[in-house]
Amino acid sequence: MEHIIIVLSTVLLSTAMFIFWVTKGGFNRKFLYTDNIALAIVSTIINLGIFHLIEMPLWLMTPFVSGTVVLILFIILFFYRFFRNPVRVIPGDRNDIVSPADGRVIYIKELERDQIPVTIKKKRVASIQEITKTDILEQPCYLIGIAMTLFDVHYNRAPIDGKIIMVKHTSGSAIGLNNPESTLVNERNTTVFEREDGVKAGVVQIAARWVDRCIVMTDEGQTLKRGQIFGKIRWGSQADLIIPRNCEILVREGEQVFAGSTIIAKILKD
């Protein structure tokens, strides 16, 4: 009976932790059926081993010892998830724009050159210049916001083939991304890529609360291939993709995307 209680309590503690991060932290629901199950199994084995080796009352074993084991293993799992840099197969051809970041699409918005500020799902989206802090992309475009959680890979990849024609850092605040003003006032890097035929795409790395910094690992004038790493953001954050209007959008709001391996849009040929 004691073993059953330990197993059930461990599974419940692990599941409760993942449900919290799915509902409050924006984690992908798939982690409830992958990482949660793995964490629950390993934690259960360790907890049963501890209970056999060390004599202690059940009220101490559950939930205190069991909870500590689950928490420690969750932190180890987090560091593995956050700092990994998996190999990505880049799909499609040169006219396929790939995602610059892992995360969930939180908005897809058409912006005009002189866009009047509006609100999208509690996030204020204003002029292109106000978002990018530059006028180099000031043209009708699509603005696609990608929210990156703590379990997402935090390396950023080039959305198109091309030369980096601008890297601009803008200092700012570090308020939570659930605040409507965060996409306008937080620290950011704007990186602009330009193909030989003049097609431009921009990526705005936006820092969140507790973010150490946004990092661009490449220089202006450097030429990158689609899906090649150009930067990273430490801890939770957001990446906004700015692409031309002559594109067919291939993702939807709420969809999970992956840097370099998810095709966000296709540039329509003239």
| Residue 132 burial (10 A CB sphere; 0-12, 13-18, 19+) | buried
Q: Which residues of 210-226 are buried (b: 16+ CB within 10 A; e: fewer)?
A: ebeebbbebeeeeebeb
Q: How many CB atoms lie within 10 A of CB 111?
A: 21
Query: Any idea which residues carry the catalytic annotation?
Result: 237
Instruction: Residue count of the chain, please give it.
Output: 270
Residue 32, amino acid:
L
CA 270, CA 268: separation in Å to the nearest integer? 6
